[in-house]
Structure 1
């Protein structure tokens, strides 16, 4: 991407780590290391005025090939309503018709509205790229490639274990670094090598329990529940996560298989959305609502002192 001969870049998506690294590559391409502080400007996209973006782009670089203006979190690209519509149009016209060749403008955002005039202007004269991990298989491949950057080989089982037990790529990368440091002597890393090293977050442990419930593995689910309580997990948190999962499945069932719409509605990682869609296909909306009602009733009973959380969750899992 850094070799693309463009002056304006729009980098967006759910994976902040990939966006951050892309920004660094562009900076490396255009900025002189000696004058980087003078030829690089970072603006807060949530606070900056459109006029300030234009003014910053008009300043000539000192010793660098281009002056780099970085607008981080450019949320105006996703807002459906704007009180500064005229200013937005001026920025769009500036990008499309008046943008100086000596400047590089980078805008980043998590979400965008492709109907925006600024977006259309960038798409016409600049470079637009979405950064996301679409599915489990893609995340595993990213993990294996990432490990190679640290001179380590991960087999498929190790990469899959890391993928399952981490969230976004920031967390994933931190776990890979930890494993590489701990297993400095090993050339090929397998799942059994990393199980004791990885600090699996409490949500990952609860997700394993939820997966067992969804796959009708009642006995394994009860064992995992016992393990969670042994580790000191709060029953109310476990119940909240189970209820939230069934609520998300209900939404997915109602919204259909439109991944983008589900992501926007629920604010979930693409990998999680993919998994929810696959799980929702196995259940009717009536069964999902029944499971959600059971979970919500248990929450009420626990708070009223009618049942303790451990016994209640054991009964819930058995009924589900």
Structure 2
């Protein structure tokens, strides 16, 4: 039966361990966390080579795992069998291994009382047309793991920092998501570094994230755009020079600024027509979190101001392409004059 991650963890804390778990989805780190929680509850005396067996579906026939699950544990009340990437539940092609899915189905329908079997599937969905999947949904404990929504990711970051003995400000959380993204493995790695920097009982703030958190080039550009549209010109200029040193093209940065301004304007226009944020995000083909950030940025501008900025950016693009101005000079000029342009537009359309 389908269950939530929270319900399963609460059960495990009480020492309740189910005979068969089917854990599937795209958020591998959360799956790993639950696997570890099941291990701790099923084998409280610790993992040993006799009562904890790991198999990979691409390498070992599934019937070997079934046979091991049916074998009585050695000097222990329970044994644990983990089968990784059990693709037989998905639409993925079977590896070149002689699997017997019928043996697995028979076991799921009548599991050994002294064993716990964990089946993980690296797929967004299960193939519900298969008889095996239907059996698992009826008899096993099935949990789906999908990418966290923005508010869930915020809660996860706060909980992770607390687990590491520190705290983090709301601005620090927002900066982490903006700088690092929502990949939980990368977030955990960066939070461990930040918690070590803050020390036991210390606080991680926005400045600490800016100083220490690693960013991909894509995230660097995302943060740069955020600094630009929030009119933090000094910080934007410093980031621009860093990006240029890393071989980013000025014309690309101008294009990214124009794209963000266009999204901000479209959000204003469409929300004025009664559409909610998620509907507009879907129309624009952007991630809901990116739309939320753009909406917050857009609150700093009027529609006329955004239209004026798009006009100025289009004019700069024309001058670059006709050789009237260099692309780097155009980018620098746009950033340095941006606050003045916004104030001028405000006065003109007041």
**TM-score (norm: length of structure 1):** 0.67
| Match status 1:176 vs 2:188 | no
Match of 2:169 among 146, 155, 176: 155
Kept in 2: contact 1:46–1:76 (CA 8 A): no
Question: Residues 34, 145 of structure 1: CA spacing in aligned structure 2 closer, same or farther, 3 A cutoff?
Answer: closer
Q: Distance in 2 between matches of 1:238 and 1:22?
A: 46
1:132-281 matched pairs, under 5 angstroms: 132-167=146-181, 168-184=183-199, 187-209=202-224, 223=237, 226-230=240-244, 232-235=245-248, 273-275=287-289
Match of 2:104 among 87, 91, 97: 91
Number of aligned positions between the proteins: 273
Alignment of 1:113 onto 2:163: no
In structure 2, the partner of 1:125 is 139
For structure 2, list consecutive stretches of 5 or more residues without a partner in the other structure: 1-7, 264-277, 280-284, 299-316, 318-322, 336-350
Q: Which residue of 2 aligns with 1:61?
A: 73
Larger radius of gyration: 2
Asked if the contact 1:50–1:88 (Cα under 8 Å) also holds between the matched residues in 2, the reply is yes
Give RMSD over aligned pairs. Answer: 4.4
Deviation at 1:106, TM superposition (A): 0.4
| Alpha-carbon shift at residue 47 of structure 1 (Å) | 2.5
2:60 partner SS: coil
Match of 1:17 in 2: 29
User: Residues of 1 paired with 2:84 and 2:93: CA distance?
Assistant: 20
Deviation, structure 1 residue 237: 12
TM-superposition CA deviations, 1:238-286 (whole Å, max 9, x none): 959x89xx9xx9xxxxxxx89xxxxxxx9xxxxx84336779999xxxx
Question: Structure 2-normalised TM-score?
Answer: 0.62
Please report how far the alpha carbon of residue 203 of structure 1 lies from its aligned counterpart in structure 2 after TM superposition.
2.4
Shift of 1:201: 2.7
**Contact 2:79 2:114 survives alignment (8 Å):** yes
Contact 2:250–2:327, Cα closer than 8 Å, also in 1: no
Q: Which runs of 5+ in 1 are unaligned?
A: 250-256, 259-265, 267-271, 283-297, 299-305
Cα–Cα, structure 1 residues 191 and 229, in superposed 2: closer, same or farther, change >3 Å? closer
Describe the shift of the 1:274–1:134 C-alpha distance in structure 2 as closer, same or farther (beyond 3 A): farther
